[in-house]
Amino acid sequence: MFENLQLDVRRNLQDYAPRGLLHRVALCLTLNSIHAVSLIRFQFWCAQHHIPTLFAAKLLFWFFKIEVSKAAFIGPGLRLPHPMGLIIAPGVRIGPDCDLYADVRLVLANGAKQGPQIGNHVFLGDGAKVVGNVSIGDHAVIGVSSVVTRDIPAHATAVGIPAKIINDQNDRASDNR
Ligand SMILES: CC(C)(COP(=O)(O)OP(=O)(O)OC[C@H]1O[C@@H](n2cnc3c(N)ncnc32)[C@H](O)[C@@H]1OP(=O)(O)O)[C@@H](O)C(=O)NCCC(=O)NCCS
Q: Whose Cα sits closest to atom 42 in ligand 1?
A: 125
pLDDT tens per residue, range 107-136: 999 888 889 999 999 999 999 999 999 999
Ligand 1 mean position to 88 CA, how many Å? 24
**Closest residue CA from atom 18 of ligand 1:** 159
Q: How far apart are CA 102 and CA 125, in angstroms?
A: 8
Q: Which domain holds residue 162?
A: 2-174
What single letter denotes the amino acid at residue 31? L
Q: What is the mean pLDDT of residues 144-157?
A: 97
For the segment 24-38, what is each residue's pLDDT rounded down to a tens digit?
A: 999 999 999 999 999
CATH number at residue 125: 2.160.10.10
Q: Residue 2: what pLDDT?
A: 81
Q: Does ligand 1 lie within 6 Å of residue 126's CB atom?
A: yes
Alpha-carbon gap, residue 177 to 175, rounded angstroms? 6
Total of domains in the chain: 1
The DSSP secondary-structure symbol of 14 reads G
